[in-house]
Amino acid sequence: MTIKDVDQADLSDRAHIESPYTLYRRMHEGTGVAIDPEVGVAVAGYADLVDLSRNTGLYSSSITEDDRGPRHMGVSSEPVQDDVEEILSNAHPIVNALFTADPPVHTRHRKVISKALGPRKVRELEPQIRAVANDLIDAFIHAGQVDLLPAFAVPLPVTVIADILGVDRKDIWTFKHWGDLMISGNIDMLSHERRREVAHAVVDLHRYFVPRIEQRRLQPSDDLLSEMVNARIDGEAPLTTEELLPIIDQILLAGHETTTNLVGNGIVALLGDPALVRQLRAQPELVEPFVEEVLRWDPPIQCTYRRATADTQLHGCPIPKGAMVLPMWAAANRDPEEFPAPETFDISRKNVRKHMGFGYGPHFCAGAELARLEARIAFELLLERLHDLELDEAASDLTHLPSFASHGYQRVVLRFKKQA
């Protein structure tokens, strides 16, 4: 096989962003690999992603070969411009951590986060999350219409993660702004001006959290930030500020982006099937498998990245050392070898929890249980409290966010019966 036999892709093309599953279907019919010359090698097969995720020696999660940590400057061979570097010079030094680190560093960081966001701890948050969700619904239930994302799907997870971290709720929209910029800077193609915006967000986040980290070292509170600052895993020293800042950054991203788009994607899928709406209302226990099928069928995160640490190949496609390799998690979720009739939305799938909506392997999303709980509560309460619920297609904008990595709608407007 020659490189010209491999599927070619333009992941940043608007047509792909609107309908990524067309490319994924084509990849499954071919080699399971596609090349985007501007981004890297995309991998679609479920079994291939299992192997890739486990082989952290060959496929590194660090986008850089040094230990300086994520730059958030987007996927591009173009060097970071001098004026962007000047902005970043005001940021606190960081290192590769958690999402951008490989074992054994990743393992240490993961232990700190898992202790705070493990299943037992997350279950204890249900009353708090339910209260936040009910308060948000109370604010619009009398109106008969709601722009769901800014009124509910964004503030729900951002408020929850702010409470968990122990920071002021008044800052949640600042967190949202930083998070939006940083997730685009993690993997999308960025213009020069966008790089400047991301660099400023990095600096602002550091200036916000460095004094709070120092405060928690001196005066710990009952919150996640204090746990992370003071945790001693296996007798080792606590994490440094250089390690904590990128971890906080990642928690902010995982703490809102995934749940926001999971709720948005899920409600559009749900309201397109009135029989499923009736079924979930009659059997609320089915909301849980419904959430899992949304994560398989139309996940909020389509792909992440790895860096090849040596020359290799996959299904005849050469992958040179240093090349970007993209695990296409959403494509693996449509692999017919793993999920029969993959394009059918089916909450009764026996293996639905085998989806890769949260990734796979050592870097499986540390906040997965929190996102699952937030989404389950969101759908339960929307179905329970909003009667005659339907999608207002005329008022909605169901084009997708301008990202090939983060997948969600621009505007989702719902109509329902007004309540006093």
- Residue 2: the pLDDT is 46
- Residue 147: the pLDDT is 98
What does the mean pLDDT of the chain come to? 91
The pLDDT confidence band at residue 326, using thresholds 50, 70 and 90, is: very high
d(CA 368, CA 292): 11
Region 162-182 average pLDDT? 86
Region 274-300 average pLDDT? 98
- Residue 71: the pLDDT is 67
Query: In the structure encoding, which two tokens stand for residue 377, read together?
Result: 């509560």
- Residue 1: the pLDDT is 44
The pLDDT tens digits of the residues spanning 77-119 come to: 667 888 988 998 999 988 888 888 999 989 989 988 887 788 8
The pLDDT confidence band at residue 298, using thresholds 50, 70 and 90, is: very high
The pLDDT tens digits of the residues spanning 187-230 come to: 677 888 888 998 899 899 999 999 999 999 999 998 989 999 99
* Token pair 């490319």 in the structure block, residue: 23
Query: In the structure encoding, which two tokens stand for residue 305, read together?
Result: 């990245």
Query: DSSP labels for 10-72?
Result: -TTSHHHHH-HHHHHHHHHHTTSEEEETTTEEEE--HHHHHHHHH-TTTEES-SSSSSS----
Question: Helix, strand or coil for residue 325?
Answer: strand
Answer whether residue 4 shows pLDDT above 70: no
> Using alpha carbons only, what angle is made at residue 164 by residues 204 and 74, rounded to the nearest 5 degrees?
40
CATH assignment, 3-415: 1.10.630.10
Query: In the structure encoding, which two tokens stand for residue 275, read together?
Result: 């029989």
Tell me the pTM. 0.93
Amino acid letter for position 32:
G
267-302 per-residue burial string, b: 16 or more CB within 10 A, e: under 16: bbbbbeeeebeeebeeeeeebbbbbbbbbbbbbbbb
